[in-house]
Structure 1
Amino acid sequence: MEKLKNTLQDNIADTLYITLYMKALETKKKDPILYDEKACEMYEAIDYDFSKYNKAIRSSVGVVVRSNHFDEQVRDFISRKLNPVVVILGCGLDARYERLKDCNKDAMFYELDIAEVIQFRKKLLPESENNKYISSSMFDTDWMDYIKEKHPKNPIIFIIEGVVMYFDESDLKEFYFNLSERFTKSEIHFDIVSKWLSKHSHRHDSLKHSKAKFEFGLDDDMLIESWGQNLCHIKTYLYSDFPGWKKVGFMMGFIMSIVPRFKYGGRILHYTLN
């Protein structure tokens, strides 16, 4: 069977291959942090040089720890809410809907990314009745208005995975402000990097092999509260806090658990829209 050619032109969009590859590799391991059969299928179906990421150990662990965490947050949200809506921004080739099929029967999913990614995604992961795709920049507001009109009273969880750090602060401020203007009683889960790591993305173990780079770094996890009247920081998660992080190896795990520059280099934030 002929493999799909890579048609992505956007540098940030191209990073979806990093996360896809790491999920596929982890799935094939004994006792994986994340099991993603669809990632394996898509990896095998795409003609792309994944080998350049073979030595990115921190990324290989970080990606699956992060994705597993977001899966757990969505699963918990669905279990607690009536008629929940899950909105995944910058979905890439992530197969979260498929991974959560055991619990998502009462949930409506929307997965958003730029047009070229959605077009490519549809060739590998077709839409379904409860999982619709939206071709749009996350910074546009039309999709926000659509979701609000479609689900005016439904509880909504927004997942923004591996996205925020690629854009500048002014755009992000406007994005969070626009969300806060439209939604209440909702949750936002997203990951960020520190200012130091943002400035050194050219040394990042996987990103250094791509043309993308980090544009935004955050050292104060409370700062985003000031970007909208109803934004509230609930919790910060450190990668070193997750049991799966030990897979980076003893020495690296030790360094990243005690040296502040590395310990706080990447974090996962939970915010609410009250």
Structure 2
Amino acid sequence: MDSRKINLSEEKETLLITLLAKAMDSRTKNPILSDKKAEEILNMIDYDFEKINSFGNEIMVIRAKQLDTWLQEFIGKNPDATVLNLGCGLDTRITRINPPSIVQWFDVDFPEVIELRKSFFSNHEGYQMIPSSVTELEWLKKIPNNKRAMIIAEGLLEYLSEEAVKELLNRLTSHFPHGQIAFDIMNSFAIQSGKEKLEKTTGAVHKWMVDDIQDVDKLDPSLKRVTNLSVFKSKSIHNLPFKTRFLYSAMCLIPSFRNMMRLLLYKF
């Protein structure tokens, strides 16, 4: 197929940062995700990827791997689950997980993102792409709520206000009877450190920063925290080259660095 010219901006454009990270991982000697589909998509896109090739690719890949692991564990226990992948971008999680046919999987993102996504994915039985901002919430009415749900929000909530995060969580836990939700949070050190480069490169702005994990716990009383994991403590760190592992280990002695990005898993 012809190369797809990208005309996205702000937080929509950041989907290319995570796509690049996953594609580059597939080229390494010891890949963490082995995401060949991401590289395939990357090669079909007309975009200057060089300008976004300095956003901590390894960390984004480790984040994705940990979320994949939690999702696989959930599907293992609930093979007829409903899966929501919020702010999906061009993420290839559906192909990485390859869920049982009785899983109902929904990928949700802005209409222009889904339009781009349709160049590489097609709706089929058990899989549907939904074009909507996740905060508009009318889209949720399209999702059946008779099964346990696993909700993934990868690299998404940082772009929302705390009030919008609270409303989204409340609506999700009200819609589904039971399930889990997994997402990442960034502290003020991480957001302030990358603010200028992110805005200059894509125009995107991170709005929600979390320094005290209990602030997240209070957003929805029906959510019970299962795991709070620094991305630097994920098992996938061991796949990285020795020099990179050593650097991260040394920097993790500093709390503000260690908690730059945390992965949270809640049940409800």
* Same fold, judged at TM 0.5 (above): yes
Q: Is the 8 A contact 2:105 2:126 kept in 1?
A: yes
Once residues 209 and 151 of structure 2 are traced to their aligned partners in structure 1, the CA distance between those partners, rounded to angstroms, is 20
User: Secondary structure of 2:107's partner?
Assistant: strand
Matched, 1:54 2:48: no
Name the residue aligned to 2:219: 227
Q: Deviations over 1:202-261 (max 9, x none)?
A: 256x67633212111012223233222311111111122124335371453123321111
Paired residue for 1:151, among 145, 149, 152?
A: 145
Paired residue for 1:126, among 113, 122, 127?
A: 122
Once residues 78 and 167 of structure 2 are traced to their aligned partners in structure 1, the CA distance between those partners, rounded to angstroms, is 28
**Residue 5 to residue 189, structure 1, CA distance change in 2 (3 Å):** same
Once residues 68 and 106 of structure 1 are traced to their aligned partners in structure 2, the CA distance between those partners, rounded to angstroms, is 23
For residue 22 of structure 1, report the CA deviation from its aligned partner: 0.7
Unaligned runs of 5+ in 2: none
User: Secondary structure of 1:236's partner?
Assistant: strand
Matched, 1:170 2:163: yes
Q: Is the 8 A contact 1:89 1:159 kept in 2?
A: yes
Once residues 31 and 114 of structure 1 are traced to their aligned partners in structure 2, the CA distance between those partners, rounded to angstroms, is 34
Q: Is the 8 A contact 2:5 2:46 kept in 1?
A: yes
Matched, 1:269 2:261: no
Name the residue aligned to 1:253: 248
Over aligned residues, Cα RMSD in angstroms?
A: 1.9
User: Secondary structure of 2:218's partner?
Assistant: helix
User: Secondary structure of 1:92's partner?
Assistant: coil
Name the residue aligned to 2:4: 4
% identity of equivalent residues: 28
Q: Normalising by structure 2, what TM-score?
A: 0.92
Q: Is the 8 A contact 2:87 2:153 kept in 1?
A: yes
Q: Deviations over 1:57-89 (max 9, x none)?
A: xx2101110111111111111110141111000
Q: Is the 8 A contact 1:164 1:191 kept in 2?
A: yes
User: Secondary structure of 1:258's partner?
Assistant: coil
Q: Is the 8 A contact 2:187 2:261 kept in 1?
A: yes
Once residues 109 and 31 of structure 1 are traced to their aligned partners in structure 2, the CA distance between those partners, rounded to angstroms, is 29
Unaligned runs of 5+ in 1: none
Once residues 249 and 132 of structure 2 are traced to their aligned partners in structure 1, the CA distance between those partners, rounded to angstroms, is 41
User: Secondary structure of 2:183's partner?
Assistant: strand
Higher mean alpha-carbon deviation, 84-93 vs 240-249, is at 240-249
For residue 128 of structure 1, report the CA deviation from its aligned partner: 2.0
User: Secondary structure of 1:12's partner?
Assistant: helix
Q: Is the 8 A contact 1:92 1:117 kept in 2?
A: yes
Name the residue aligned to 1:92: 89
Once residues 30 and 200 of structure 2 are traced to their aligned partners in structure 1, the CA distance between those partners, rounded to angstroms, is 29
Name the residue aligned to 1:160: 153
Paired residue for 2:187, among 182, 191, 194?
A: 194
For residue 173 of structure 1, report the CA deviation from its aligned partner: 1.6
Matched, 1:236 2:228: yes
Once residues 221 and 244 of structure 2 are traced to their aligned partners in structure 1, the CA distance between those partners, rounded to angstroms, is 42
Name the residue aligned to 1:216: 208
Name the residue aligned to 1:179: 172
Q: Is the 8 A contact 1:190 1:268 kept in 2?
A: yes
Matched, 1:20 2:19: yes
**Residue 70 to residue 104, structure 1, CA distance change in 2 (3 Å):** farther
**Residue 12 to residue 262, structure 1, CA distance change in 2 (3 Å):** same
**Residue 62 to residue 203, structure 1, CA distance change in 2 (3 Å):** farther
For residue 177 of structure 1, report the CA deviation from its aligned partner: 1.9
Q: Normalising by structure 1, what TM-score?
A: 0.90
For residue 105 of structure 1, report the CA deviation from its aligned partner: 2.6
